[in-house]
Amino acid sequence: MLAEIQEKKVQSQAAFHHLPLTEVFNELSATDKGLTEQEAKKRLNQYGENELNASKKKSLLVKFAEQFKDLMIIILIIAAILSVITSGGHDLSDAIIIMAVVIINAIFGVYQEGKAEAAIEALKDMSSPMARVKRDGHIVEVDSKELVPGDIVLLEAGDVVPADMRLLESASLKIEEAALTGESVPVEKDARHSVSADSGIGDRLNMAYQNANVTYGRGSGLVTNTAMFTEVGKIASMIESADETETPLKRNLNKLSKVLTWAILAIAAVTFAVHLLRGGEIVQGLMTSVALAVAAIPEGLPAIVTIVLALGTQVLAKKNAIVRKLPAVETLGSTEIIASDKTGTLTMNQMTVEKIFTDGKLVSADEKLSVDDMTLRVMNFANDTKISADGSLIGDPTETALVKFGRTKDFDIRSELTETPRVAELPFDSDRKLMSTIHQLDDGKYLVAVKGAPDQLLKRANKKLVRDEVSSLSATDRKEILTVNHEMAHEALRVLMMAFKYIDKVPETLTSEDLENDLIFAGLVGMIDPERAEAAEAVRVAKAAGIRPIMITGDHQDTAEAIAKRLGIISENDNEDHVLTGAELNDMDDKTFQKSVSQYSVYARVSPEHKVRIVKAWQNEGKVVAMTGDGVNDAPALKTADIGIGMGITGTEVSKGASDMVLADDNFATIIVAVEEGRKVFANIQKTIQYLLSANTAEVLTIFLATMFGWDVLLPVHLLWINLVTDTFPAIALGVEPNEPGSMQQKPRGKKASFFSGGVLSATIYQGLLQAALTLGVYGLALAFPEHAGNHTMMHQDALTMAFATLGLIQLFHAFNVKSIHQSIFKVGAFKSKTFNWSILVSFALLACVILIPGLNGIFHVSHLDLYQWGMVLGMSFAVIIIVEIVKFVQRLMMKKA
């Protein structure tokens, strides 16, 4: 992928955030006047355009052809050929149906093929189209694709950062980097900030990264890397190189295909050999073996699995989970680890006032507060939030949270500013960490409202306001304020202090030294991006279901830990270290981390590489991992995980493109709903496979044993019709059965489990034997008591017809047994599902019509049966329910004793 760039001069990978500015300029051979146009063109030829590389795309034909490599698809094609052979080329309907399924599956596979390509294209589309650059000492506007290392770029609010750059200037500069770091609020940048070499992206305050958004202030930066060498470029490389994780469903179907292939070949070969040893004709033996192979292959299985999965996606779509890849529905059911991003998924992604210290008391944000409270007034006055015509708030998330809080206390900032207009201001800057506004009062005086960092603002206050009285701020008062500040910070609240004073006139020259002193302390405000109301319950349900929630975030350690405890991811009273930072993870090699991965439930200040390491470490433990994310930085891990879950509201197109499923409501609780649906889907596929394979086993054993006895029990046309009738409607109906109670109180089945786990294999074998025995029993009885047949030929045809009817009906009755592996059909509800009831009735009608309708019975080589014969057929067919119910009862007793 990087071959073209690697042929040219490789861009520097120096730790630009750590180097002194002089060394950065030297490393890039740059000056503060910017590059010359000549030098810029030279470097553009050298490094290439500043855009992400697209991977080499496969042709549509190649993608289509690759879909036929799957073993089950090969078996289906063979089944189509065999069905044509057995019909002598006269009946092509079965072959057409099978090939239609194969082609539809291939088309769907091609549709799903280009996830990585779509993700890369989405990254490219995010790039800023134009950039203001200093060239030859002048400011010019150029296409961002023409940027090169050494360029000086100017930034201001509303810009998209066009390349990675070391900041040269920063005037109240705030950049929203959530897509890269996951941090919920814009980062205050500082060009003069010193950063250690091993610091993570979120802590590099002197850097700006490609595709981040400038939300406030202005600045300039020296371009350090472009194209695939940017942080976003590295993520694009990781997306493309990430291995596509094989889903549990695909693994199970592949295993099933291999087992069936060898079993079918072995049984067909033995049947053919026995036929020849008994002196039979080669052609007849070959046809019998082919018929047996047709009976053994569950040709409808892939189609039914696809239908069940597709119906599952429709159910999930109604519950705000949009599935982009069908097998993801089933993968959800086996999930053991959910590695979730914090911001927007577990939390609201909205800064919210939670506590307020005012009038000498610390109270919850829910408690009543007077509109005249000075803390409330200051937080709204010293605020740059804009209110649109429709009443929505526009501005910094922290400031909009303060205005929103004011609204809950009936404080209307628009009407207040009409009565107490702002006449001057001292904007926020990152040096003094304060913001002040001046408002004219009715009595001719002016109110100075100051908001800022507690450690800075407390130094400038010498009085306090408590119960409408202003008094001196004592050492004890200061200690109390700092204690409250510390307590709120320990709870991961972002704390701001409010202060004020009155002045007689507005200074001609506004300076911090003149305005922001002799202040009166009003109060403290504690804010946080709160957890979603339903998230804690979802975490509890996940744990009860044996699923371990893991929080992975770019936020600070304290914030992450506090939210994790509030959600129940970490126990409130647990004193063990369950939090690991990105810096600590950097110090661990893979072997050390692998040993301790199960210790940690929270990862803070992590990078994209860390997220992939975390996912892979859990996968190496044999766990099925679901990963959620919304940012560009999440995309590689989303693709690496067993199931990647993107965010529909806040998610970037990159993260959605790399995901298997997208949450329309960005809600962690929706994942748990999806997991339950996934478990239901797997259980229903398991029921379908048990039903189909036990039925196919019965057909194979019937033919095999009949061959051993020298009987001609069933013709190929009978097997094809039974397969068509009984393998379609009842199997699909079983695939949409309601969820069995208690599915979310069971542990996940995990990667090692298969469709035959939980007693399905033994049930499939004995139930297949039982059906075959009952079918052969009917055939044997018909031959032993021929009084209802007119002659030898009629006797044989009646026996064949009764065996045909019994094998078909017994499978329809057996469908009731499969509604639950261990529970009685009377407990799960034999007639609970209308879809199932109709499927049985339709299948019964199709099966009966070929016997009852004149003309059809001649085509199918069957005869009319009298009431006695029908009674024998129905009685032996229904016996399968009675016998299986007895076996289930014994199994339940044994499980209780165990």
| pLDDT tens per residue, range 86-98 | 566 665 655 675 6
What is the model's pLDDT at position 93?
Answer: 59
Name the class of domain 248-319+676-897: mainly alpha
Mean pLDDT of the chain: 82
Region 30-57 average pLDDT: 84
CA count, 13 A, side-chain hemisphere, 85: 17
If one compares 843 and 106, the residue with the highest pLDDT of the two is: 843
Identify the weakest region by mean pLDDT among 212-226, 311-325, 789-803, 807-821. Answer: 789-803
Query: Rounded to whole angstroms, how far apart are CA atoms 306 and 318?
Result: 19
Q: Is the pLDDT of residue 159 over 60?
A: yes
Query: Rounded to whole angstroms, how far apart are CA atoms 538 and 849?
Result: 51
What is the model's pLDDT at position 880?
Answer: 94
Q: What's the token pair of residue 564?
A: 């994790």
What is the model's pLDDT at position 248?
Answer: 61
Name the DSSP class of 35: B
SS3 readout for 229-248: HCHHHHHHHHHHHCCCCCCH
What is the model's pLDDT at position 1?
Answer: 36
CA count, 13 A, side-chain hemisphere, 691: 33
Identify the weakest region by mean pLDDT among 267-276, 529-538, 540-549, 714-723. Answer: 714-723
Q: What's the token pair of residue 532?
A: 């979603």
Q: Is the pLDDT of residue 243 over 60?
A: no
Residues of the chain with CATH 1.20.1110.10: 248-319+676-897
Q: Is the pLDDT of residue 30 over 70?
A: yes
Q: Looking at beta carbons, which pairs linking 712-716 to residues 24 or more positions away fall under 8 Å?
A: 712/796, 712/800, 713/775, 713/776, 713/779, 713/800, 713/803, 714/291, 714/800, 714/803, 714/804, 714/807, 715/291, 715/800, 715/861, 716/86, 716/87, 716/287, 716/290, 716/291, 716/294
What is the model's pLDDT at position 79?
Answer: 61
What is the model's pLDDT at position 553?
Answer: 85
Q: Is the pLDDT of residue 8 over 50?
A: no
What is the model's pLDDT at position 413?
Answer: 93
Q: Is the pLDDT of residue 539 over 60?
A: yes
Identify the weakest region by mean pLDDT among 276-285, 390-399, 402-411. Answer: 276-285
Region 149-178 average pLDDT: 88
What is the model's pLDDT at position 853?
Answer: 84
Region 125-154 average pLDDT: 84
Instruction: List, in sequence order, every residue forming a beta bridge with 154; answer none if it has no partner.
Output: 132, 220
Q: Looking at 70, 94, 159, 341, which residue is catalytic?
A: 341
- Find the helix packing angle between 397-408 and 374-381, rounded to 10°: 140
Contacts of 540 (CB under 8 A, 6+ apart): 568
Identify the weakest region by mean pLDDT among 53-57, 145-149, 326-330, 644-648. Answer: 53-57
3-54+122-239 placed in CATH 2.70.150.10? yes
Q: Is the pLDDT of residue 646 over 80?
A: yes
327-348+532-672 placed in CATH 3.40.50.1000? yes
pLDDT band at 792 (very low <50, low <70, confident <90, very high): very low
pLDDT band at 207 (very low <50, low <70, confident <90, very high): very high
Identify the weakest region by mean pLDDT among 72-81, 132-141, 172-181, 452-461. Answer: 72-81
What is the model's pLDDT at position 3?
Answer: 38
Name the DSSP class of 531: B
Do residues 380 and 395 lie in contact, with contact meaning Cβ atoms separated by under 8 Å?
Answer: no
What is the model's pLDDT at position 115?
Answer: 41
Q: Is the pLDDT of residue 562 over 50?
A: yes
pLDDT band at 363 (very low <50, low <70, confident <90, very high): very high
Name the DSSP class of 634: G
What is the model's pLDDT at position 116?
Answer: 37
Region 762-768 average pLDDT: 90
Identify the weakest region by mean pLDDT among 121-135, 148-162, 261-275, 336-350. Answer: 121-135
pLDDT in tens, 256-306: 767 777 777 787 788 778 777 777 777 666 666 766 666 666 766 766 777
Residues of the chain with CATH 3.40.1110.10: 352-528
Could you list the beta-strand ranges (E) of 373-530.
386-387, 393-394, 422-429, 434-440, 446-452, 461-466, 469-472, 494-503, 519-528
Q: Is the pLDDT of residue 56 over 60?
A: no
The CATH homologous superfamily for domain 352-528 is Calcium-transporting ATPase, cytoplasmic domain N (3.40.1110.10)
Please indicate whether residue 727 is annotated as part of the active site: no
What is the model's pLDDT at position 709?
Answer: 78
pLDDT band at 798 (very low <50, low <70, confident <90, very high): confident
What is the model's pLDDT at position 4?
Answer: 41
Query: Rounded to whole angstroms, how far apart are CA atoms 125 and 129?
Result: 9
What is the model's pLDDT at position 58?
Answer: 64
Residue of 504, 500, 539 whose CA lies nearest to 522: 500
CA distances from 754 to 246, 249, 334, 442, 705 (A): 14, 9, 10, 78, 29
Helices (H), 182-247: 231-241
Query: Rounded to whole angstroms, how far apart are CA atoms 451 and 427?
Result: 10
What is the model's pLDDT at position 445?
Answer: 95
What is the model's pLDDT at position 653?
Answer: 65
What is the model's pLDDT at position 554?
Answer: 79
pLDDT band at 245 (very low <50, low <70, confident <90, very high): low
